C-alpha cells in the first residue's frame, strides 16, 4: 500500500508540474518593437545647433551642419547612430501622413548594422533620403551611458547638392535640410544598442528599461506572414517629451499660389514666393526664404524664429496686386494675403497657411488636373479585406469615380456612399471591399469641379485616370516575355514596389506554368521579375500585365486571383486560409525569428490555450487510468 501511495503521489506531482507550465509554442511577443529585431535597445538623441535653430557655424553650399548630440546609450556596449526620416503630405496644421511606407526610411549607413537592428535592413543609401551623422571625434559609435558629443549632420550624404532639388522634388523624397523644396519633413536620430539593461534614461532608478513601443504604434500595419518583408513604421513612436526632443522641425508659412480669376493653382516654377519682414525687406536666414512653387502651386518657407512676416510673389505670367479673387475662393482656399496687408504672426506651435491670389497678365490661367501621389494597401476591417486607396491631385474639391473593369463602385466599409469629392488639399481616400474588385484592378477617375473652376481651355477639362494594379491574393498562370512568348522553366521573383526587395522566389515548370500561395504574397503593391534560364535575360511585369497576358486562361478556368477562388470556390485549403487570415491581417504584433522575414504561427493552430488543454486532457486520462487501476488493486487485496 505504501508503494501505491508513493506512486499515486508521483502522478499528482507530475500533473501539478505540467499544469503550472505556460506553453508559448510560436506565440507572439507583445514586447517586441515591430521596427526592430529582438534584444535591441533604442533611445532618442536630442539634436541642437544650426540644423534646428540657426545657431552655430554652417558649412556653406555642401549641406553640412554643426550640431551637438545629447542622450543616453542604454546598452552596456557602445551604441550605433540610426538616422530616420518621415515626410508629410501637406503642410502645418493641414499635413497628412504620407501613406506610402517607402517614404519612411532608416539607416545607420552601414549594411551590416542595418541587418543587425532592422527587420528589413536599411534604406537604399545610394539614393539618399535621410541625413548621415558624422561624429567630430572620428569615432563611429556613442559611449555607453549619458553622452554629449559634437557632430556634423550631412544633408547630402551621397554628394547631392542643391542642383539636384528638382530631381528630389519630382520624387517627393525630401528632408528638412533641403531648401527651396516646398516640402516639410521630419528627421529623427536614435542610439541603437544590444539588449535590455538597467538604469536607463528616464527610469528614475535601477528598473529595467522598457523598450516596448507606446500604445498607438499602429501594429496593424505590420506584416505577420512568412516570406514577407517587414516594413518600417511611417513615423517612429515616442512619448510626447521624446518626440519633441527627437524631431528636427522648421515652422513655416505655407500655402497655394492661385489665379485670382480662374481660381486654379499655378503649376510648378510659375511663381517664386519670398518671405519679408515687417518692414517689407527679405528675411535673411541660414535657410532660403525665397522658394519656387511646386506642382500643386504650393510654397513652403522655413522660418527659424517667431515673428511678424509678410510675403511677396514674383512671376513672369502673373502680377501680385491688391485685388481680391472672384467669389467662391474660400470654398477652395484658406485666408489670403495681398500687398498692403498688415504683417501676420508666425509661431512655431502653429504654422500658418497663407494662400496667395495673383492676377494673370493675359487670359485667366487654366490647367489639367494632375496626379501628385497615390497609395494602395490591403487592410482588414470587421473581418473583411479591403483595398485602402489614397490619392492626391492638384485641384481641390475634384470629382471622383471608382471603377473596376468598367463597373462603378460606390459604397465603402460602412455601406455609406463614397465621398465623391477630394478635400481642399486635393486628397481623397476610400476603403473598397476586395470581393468587389476584378482581376484587372481599380481605376480612379478624377474630373475638375466646374462648379468652382468655370474657365476652360483646350485640354484643361480632360479627365485624369489613375490606375491601381491589382494586389493579387493568389497567383496562377504562365510566364510570358515581352514578346508574349511563354518562357519554360522561368525564374519568378515577387518584388515590392516600394523598395524593389524580393519577398518570394519560385520557378515555373517546363510549360512556363507556376502558382503562388496567398501566404507568400504581400499586402502592399508588388510586381514580378521573370528570368529566362536560356537567354539569361530578365523582364519586369506588373500584376495587371500578368492578368492581361493570362486573361484567356483565367476566364476559361474561372479563376479569380483577387479573391483566390476557382468556380467561386476557395483555391487554398481551409488550413492555409486560416493561417492567411489570422497571421496576415489580425491586429497582432509579430515575432521575428529571421532577418527580413516575419514568422508567426496561426492562433488557430498553435495558441498557448490549445497546447495547454491538450496536455491537461492527456494527464487527466492518465489519472483516470491510475484511479481505475487503484480500485482494482484494492478490491483484489481484500
State the pairing for strand pair 64-73/145-154.
antiparallel
Residues in the chain: 638
pLDDT exceeds cutoff 50 at 584: no
**Claim to verify: residue 409 and residue 534 sit in the same structural domain:** no
Q: Percentage of the chain with pLDDT > 70?
A: 62
pLDDT of residue 157: 60
The total domain count for the chain is: 5
**Claim to verify: residue 217 and residue 101 sit in the same structural domain:** yes
Average of per-residue pLDDT across 311-334: 95
**Claim to verify: residue 86 and residue 52 sit in the same structural domain:** yes
**Claim to verify: residue 151 and residue 69 sit in the same structural domain:** yes
State the pairing for strand pair 569-570/407-409.
unpaired
Q: How far apart are CA 190 and CA 118, in angstroms?
A: 13
Calculated CA dihedral for residues 5, 7, 9, 15, nearest 10 degrees: -150
H-state helical runs in 496-607:
543-549, 551-557, 574-585, 603-606
Tell whether 571 is covered by a domain: no
**Bridge partner list, 477:** 514
**What CATH number is attached to the domain comprising 420?**
2.60.40
Mapped onto helix, strand or coil, the DSSP state of residue 298 is strand
Last residue of a domain, one of 420, 449, 468: 468
Tell whether 169 is covered by a domain: yes
Give the pLDDT confidence of 159-213 residue by residue, as tens digits: 444 444 333 332 222 222 322 222 344 567 778 887 544 333 232 333 332 322 2
Give the pLDDT confidence of 60-82 residue by residue, as tens digits: 335 677 778 888 888 778 899 88
- Domain span including residue 70: 40-246
**Bridge partner list, 527:** 495, 542
Tell whether 336 is covered by a domain: yes
Give the pLDDT confidence of 252-310 residue by residue, as tens digits: 788 999 999 999 999 998 999 999 999 999 998 767 889 999 999 999 887 878 899 99
Q: How far apart are CA 298 and CA 426, in angstroms?
A: 12
**Claim to verify: residue 150 and residue 285 sit in the same structural domain:** no
Tell whether 172 is covered by a domain: yes
Tell whether 105 is covered by a domain: yes
Provide the CB-side half-sphere exposure for 98 (13 A, CA): 26
Query: DSSP states of 85-128 as a string?
Result: EEEEES-GGG-EE---GGGSEEE-S-HHHHHHHBTT----TTS-
Tell whether 585 is covered by a domain: no
pLDDT of residue 498: 80
**Bridge partner list, 68:** 48, 150
pLDDT exceeds cutoff 80 at 247: no
Query: DSSP states of 129-160 as a string?
Result: -S-EEEETTS-SSBPSEEEEEEEEEES-TTS-
C-alpha cell, 129: 533620403
**Claim to verify: residue 434 and residue 386 sit in the same structural domain:** yes
Last residue of a domain, one of 330, 360, 390: 360
Place of cell 517664386: 272
Count CB neighbours of 557 within 10 A.
Answer: 12
- Cα Rg, the chain, nearest whole Å: 30
Q: Please state the pTM of the whole predicted model.
A: 0.55
- Of 9, 3, 82, nearest to 623 (Cα)? 9
The CA-atom distances, in angstroms, between 348 and each of 49, 251, 535 are 17, 5, 60
pLDDT of residue 12: 57
Q: How far apart are CA 387 and CA 472, in angstroms?
A: 11
**Claim to verify: residue 294 and residue 318 sit in the same structural domain:** yes
Average of per-residue pLDDT across 522-538: 91
- Of 230, 312, 196, 187, nearest to 34 (Cα)? 230
Q: Mean pLDDT lowest for which of 93-97, 230-234, 378-382, 439-443?
A: 230-234
Which residues lie closer than 8 Å to 245 by C-beta, 6 or more apart? 44, 46
pLDDT of residue 615: 67
pLDDT of residue 316: 97
- Higher-pLDDT residue of 464 and 582 is 464
pLDDT of residue 485: 93
**Claim to verify: residue 402 and residue 442 sit in the same structural domain:** yes
Q: Percentage of the chain with pLDDT > 90?
A: 33
pLDDT of residue 344: 93
Q: How far apart are CA 535 and CA 489, in angstroms?
A: 12
Tell whether 570 is covered by a domain: no
**Claim to verify: residue 334 and residue 195 sit in the same structural domain:** no
**Claim to verify: residue 462 and residue 479 sit in the same structural domain:** no
**Claim to verify: residue 44 and residue 21 sit in the same structural domain:** no
Last residue of a domain, one of 246, 280, 314: 246
Tell whether 587 is covered by a domain: no
**Claim to verify: residue 194 and residue 282 sit in the same structural domain:** no
Amino acid at each position: 500500500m505504501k508503494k501505491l501511495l508513493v506512486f499515486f503521489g508521483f502522478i499528482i506531482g507530475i500533473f501539478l508540474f505540467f499544469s503550472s507550465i505556460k506553453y508559448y509554442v510560436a506565440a507572439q511577443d507583445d514586447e517586441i518593437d515591430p521596427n526592430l529585431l529582438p534584444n535591441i535597445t533604442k533611445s532618442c538623441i536630442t539634436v541642437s545647433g544650426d540644423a534646428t535653430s540657426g545657431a552655430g557655424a554652417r558649412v556653406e553650399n555642401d549641406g553640412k551642419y554643426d550640431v551637438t548630440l545629447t542622450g543616453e546609450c542604454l546598452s552596456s556596449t557602445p551604441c550605433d547612430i540610426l538616422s530616420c526620416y518621415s515626410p508629410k503630405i501637406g503642410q502645418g496644421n493641414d499635413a497628412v501622413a504620407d501613406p506610402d511606407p517607402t517614404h519612411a526610411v532608416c539607416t545607420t549607413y552601414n549594411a551590416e548594422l542595418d541587418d543587425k537592428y532592422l527587420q528589413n535592413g536599411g534604406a537604399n543609401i545610394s539614393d539618399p533620403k535621410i541625413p548621415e551623422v558624422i561624429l567630430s571625434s572620428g569615432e563611429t559609435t556613442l559611449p555607453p551611458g549619458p553622452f554629449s558629443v559634437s557632430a556634423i549632420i550631412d544633408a547630402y550624404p551621397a554628394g547631392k547638392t542643391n542642383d539636384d532639388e528638382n530631381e528630389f522634388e519630382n520624387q517627393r523624397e525630401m528632408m528638412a535640410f533641403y531648401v527651396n523644396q516646398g516640402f516639410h519633413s521630419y528627421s529623427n536620430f536614435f542610439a541603437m544598442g544590444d539588449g535590455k539593461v538597467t538604469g536607463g534614461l528616464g527610469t528614475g532608478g535601477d528598473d529595467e528599461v522598457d523598450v516596448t513601443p507606446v500604445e498607438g504604434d499602429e501594429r496593424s500595419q505590420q506584416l505577420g506572414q512568412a516570406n514577407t518583408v517587414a516594413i518600417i513604421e511611417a513615423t517612429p513612436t515616442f512619448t510626447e517629451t521624446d518626440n519633441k526632443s527627437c524631431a528636427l522641425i522648421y515652422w513655416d508659412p505655407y500655402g497655394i499660389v492661385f489665379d485670382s480669376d480662374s481660381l486654379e493653382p499655378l503649376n510648378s516654377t510659375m511663381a517664386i514666393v519670398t518671405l519679408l519682414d515687417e518692414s517689407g525687406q527679405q528675411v535673411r536666414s541660414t535657410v532660403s526664404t525665397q522658394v519656387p512653387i511646386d506642382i500643386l502651386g504650393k510654397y513652403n518657407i522655413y522660418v527659424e524664429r517667431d515673428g511678424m512676416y509678410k510675403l511677396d510673389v514674383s512671376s513672369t505670367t502673373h502680377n501680385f496686386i491688391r485685388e481680391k479673387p472672384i467669389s467662391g475662393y474660400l470654398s477652395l482656399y484658406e485666408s489670403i494675403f495681398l500687398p498692403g496687408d498688415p504683417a501676420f504672426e508666425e509661431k512655431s506651435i502653429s504654422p500658418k497657411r497663407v494662400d496667395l491670389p495673383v492676377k494673370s497678365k493675359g487670359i485667366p490661367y487654366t490647367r489639367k488636373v494632375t496626379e501628385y501621389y497615390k497609395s494602395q494597401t490591403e487592410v482588414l476591417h470587421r473581418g473583411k479585406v479591403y483595398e485602402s486607396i489614397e490619392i492626391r491631385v492638384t485641384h481641390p474639391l475634384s470629382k471622383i469615380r471608382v471603377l473596376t473593369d468598367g463597373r462603378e463602385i460606390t459604397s465603402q466599409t460602412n455601406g455609406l456612399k463614397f465621398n465623391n469629392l477630394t478635400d481642399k488639399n486635393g486628397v481623397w481616400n476610400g476603403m473598397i471591399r476586395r470581393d468587389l474588385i476584378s482581376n484587372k484592378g481599380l481605376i480612379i477617375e478624377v474630373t475638375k469641379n466646374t462648379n468652382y473652376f468655370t474657365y476652360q481651355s483646350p485640354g484643361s477639362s480632360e479627365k485624369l485616370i489613375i490606375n491601381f494594379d491589382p494586389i493579387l491574393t493568389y497567383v496562377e498562370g504562365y510566364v510570358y516575355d515581352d514578346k508574349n512568348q511563354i518562357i519554360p522553366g522561368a525564374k519568378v521573383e515577387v518584388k515590392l514596389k516600394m523598395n524593389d526587395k524580393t519577398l518570394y522566389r519560385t520557378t515555373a515548370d517546363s510549360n512556363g506554368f507556376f502558382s503562388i500561395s496567398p501566404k507568400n504574397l504581400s499586402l502592399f503593391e508588388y510586381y514580378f521579375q521573370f528570368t529566362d534560364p536560356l537567354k539569361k535575360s530578365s523582364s519586369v511585369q506588373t500584376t495587371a500585365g500578368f492578368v492581361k497576358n493570362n486573361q484567356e486562361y483565367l476566364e476559361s478556368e474561372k479563376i479569380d486571383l483577387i479573391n483566390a477562388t476557382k468556380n467561386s470556390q476557395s483555391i487554398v485549403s481551409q488550413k492555409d486560409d486560416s493561417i492567411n487570415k489570422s497571421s496576415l491581417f489580425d491586429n497582432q504584433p509579430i515575432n521575428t525569428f529571421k532577418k527580413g522575414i516575419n514568422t508567426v504561427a496561426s492562433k488557430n493552430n498553435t495558441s498557448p490555450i490549445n497546447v495547454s488543454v491538450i496536455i491537461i486532457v492527456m494527464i487527466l486520462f492518465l489519472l483516470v487510468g491510475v484511479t481505475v487501476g487503484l480500485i482494482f488493486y484494492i478490491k483484489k487485496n481484500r
